[in-house]
């Protein structure tokens, strides 16, 4: 009987970075567990020593914790079904392989790499599916013992039955069938004694009482092998759910050739974890409406496997950027303040000190204009340093012959204001100067913005003046009058 408390797992291989497809698998497992009061387990499938990357496990754990996917059991917080590194469970796999060998549901294969290569080439010539020909299944007991005594290297293979339909149900794919002739006699234990994914994941899922196996569609063709193993051991199968592929805009499979695929790449580019989680959740799932903005706790509430699509999901970076804008716009100012300080410490302004009150004003003025925290600096550097150059196109369009004299007069009007003048007071002074100079307000506003910011666009000009303050504004006006020549 399946454990009434749902238990799901994310079981990555430590081969480098965390792929966004891996993040989606982890997220869907996490959301399913949370939605059903279940347990979410992290297991490290590190039995392929050729692909193992030093530091990958630590990076993986760090990334999962960064996005907020906290697991109930795992390599760094334990649990009653550990160890959670497959490389520490080798004796368990060998014991289960021995059971299969004794049953006749697995066999030792002593074929050399050269024979296997020749077999594969011959099959390719006649356009047959590449699969093992069961040569070693027909070795006698004496022949096997002789080879073992000679210490000839061998692997343990799954004995797939002939002329059988292997079927299973899938939450997303519904009823799935494979003819056993299309299923290879998969290697279960390699010649180095390490298990392959197929044996290890089935044994671990059973022993760790995993109730639902939620993974990518690329594993669908391997599932018949796993189903056979469950049946051979006499174990109850878990519920399977195979998630749709992630696609590039041209509908090809998502790959690094066409863009970033690592979660770490998007983090380093300044994407918020909230936006990334929101975006990845929608790659193959929706709640049945047009809603697109979700926080993690809302996803936990609404997620269900029966709303996952069969068709591939297109990875649209423009949509991710839009979600980043929305999450940044709605994030509490206190949180944005912490993020902005971190960006400043990574920028050329590192070492400079800005009062929280000042930065909060900057955030308020630019909130509707930025999609990334770093854009508070990139789009409005004038809040952090005096402009040392002025946009030539804006100079050509906005800086007229009479601009210097008008701005000089305006600076004089501003000097009569209080040090902490309000928006209204700046505005009144500007309008009064325009009126007394018999000039249009625009003939003052546009060169004024250019003088204090070096740009022609930005937040409201009076917001800009209040944030910078009277004295800094006057100083920048005088500097611009000296520097700008037309």
Which tokens go with 131? Answer: 């699969």
43-79 burial: b if 16+ Cβ within 10 Å, else e: bbbbbbeeeeeeebbebbbebbeebebebebbbeeeb
Contact of 199 with 189, CB cutoff 8 Å:
yes
Is residue 94 annotated as a catalytic residue, yes or no?
A: no
3-state secondary structure the chain: CCCCCCEEEECCCCCCCCEHHHHHHHHHHHHHHHHCCCEEEECECCCCCCCCCCCHHHHHHHHHHHHCCCCCEECCCECCCCCCEHHHCHHHHHHHHHHHHHHCCEEEECCCHHHHHHHHHHHHHCCCCCCCCCHHHHCCHHHHHHHHHCCCCCEEEECCCCCCEEEEEECCCEEEEEEHHHCCCCEEECCCCCECHHHHHHHHHHHCCCCEEEEEHHHHHHHHHHHHHHHHHCCCCCEEEEECCEECCCCCECCHHHCCCEHHHHHHCCCCHHHHHHHHHCCCECCCCCCCCCCHHHHHHHCCHHHECCCCEECCHHHHHHHHHHHHHHCCHHHHHHHHHHHHHHCCCCCCCCCHHHHHHHHHHHHHHCCCCCHHHHCCHHHCCCCCCCCHHHHHHHCCCCHHHHHHHHHHHHHCCCCCCCHHHHHHHHHHHHHHCCCCCHHHHHHHHHHHHCCCCCCCHHHHHHHHCHHHHHHHHHHHHHHCCC
Indicate which residue of 256, 310, 397, 400 is catalytic. Answer: 256
Which tokens go with 384? Answer: 């952090």
Contact of 84 with 73, CB cutoff 8 Å:
yes
What residues act catalytically?
Answer: 256
């Amino acid at each position: 009987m399946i454990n009434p408390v749902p238990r799901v797992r994310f079981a990555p291989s430590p081969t480098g970075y965390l792929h966004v497809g891996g993040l989606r698998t982890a997220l869907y497992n996490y959301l399913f567990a949370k939605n059903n009061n279940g347990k979410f387990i992290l297991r490290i499938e590190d039995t392929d020593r050729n692909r193992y990357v030093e530091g990958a496990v630590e990076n993986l754990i760090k990334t999962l914790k960064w996005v907020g996917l906290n697991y109930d059991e795992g390599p760094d917080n334990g649990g009653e079904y550990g160890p959670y590194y497959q490389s520490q469970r080798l004796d368990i796999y060998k014991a289960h392989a021995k059971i299969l060998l004794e049953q006749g549901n697995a066999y030792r294969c002593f074929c050399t790499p050269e024979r296997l290569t020749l077999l594969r080439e011959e099959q390719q010539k006649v356009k047959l599916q590449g699969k093992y020909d069961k040569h070693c299944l027909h070795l006698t007991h004496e022949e096997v013992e002789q080879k073992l005594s000679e210490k000839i290297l061998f692997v343990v293979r799954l004995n797939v039955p002939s002329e059988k339909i292997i079927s299973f149900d899938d939450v997303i794919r519904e009823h799935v069938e494979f003819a056993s002739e299309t299923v290879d006699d998969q290697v279960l234990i390699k010649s180095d004694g390490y298990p392959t994914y197929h044996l290890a994941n089935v044994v671990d899922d059973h022993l760790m009482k995993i109730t639902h196996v939620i993974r990518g569609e690329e594993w669908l063709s391997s599932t018949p092998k796993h189903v056979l193993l469950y049946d051979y051991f006499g174990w109850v199968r878990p519920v399977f759910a195979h998630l749709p592929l992630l696609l590039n805009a041209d509908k090809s499979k998502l790959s690094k050739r066409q863009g970033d695929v690592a979660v770490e790449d998007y983090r380093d580019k300044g994407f918020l974890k909230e936006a990334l989680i929101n975006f990845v959740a929608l790659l193959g799932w929706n709640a049945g409406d047009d809603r697109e903005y979700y926080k993690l706790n809302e996803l936990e509430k609404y997620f269900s496997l029966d709303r996952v699509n069969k068709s591939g999901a297109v990875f649209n970076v423009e949509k991710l950027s839009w979600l980043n804008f929305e999450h940044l716009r709605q994030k509490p100012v206190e949180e944005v303040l912490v993020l902005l300080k971190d960006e400043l410490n990574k920028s050329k302004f590192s070492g400079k000190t800005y009062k929280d009150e000042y930065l909060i004003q900057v955030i308020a003025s630019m909130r509707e204009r930025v999609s990334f925290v770093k854009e508070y600096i990139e789009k409005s550097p004038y809040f952090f340093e005096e402009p040392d150059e002025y946009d030539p196109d804006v100079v050509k369009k906005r800086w007229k012959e009479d601009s210097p004299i008008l701005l000089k007069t305006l600076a004089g009007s501003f000097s009569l204001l209080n040090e902490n003048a309000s928006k209204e007071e700046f505005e009144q002074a500007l309008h009064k100067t325009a009126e007394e100079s018999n000039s249009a307000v625009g003939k003052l506003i546009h060169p004024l913005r250019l003088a204090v910011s070096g740009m022609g666009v930005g937040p409201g000009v009076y917001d800009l003046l209040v944030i910078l303050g009277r004295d800094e504004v006057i100083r920048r006006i005088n500097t611009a009058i000296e520097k700008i020549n037309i």
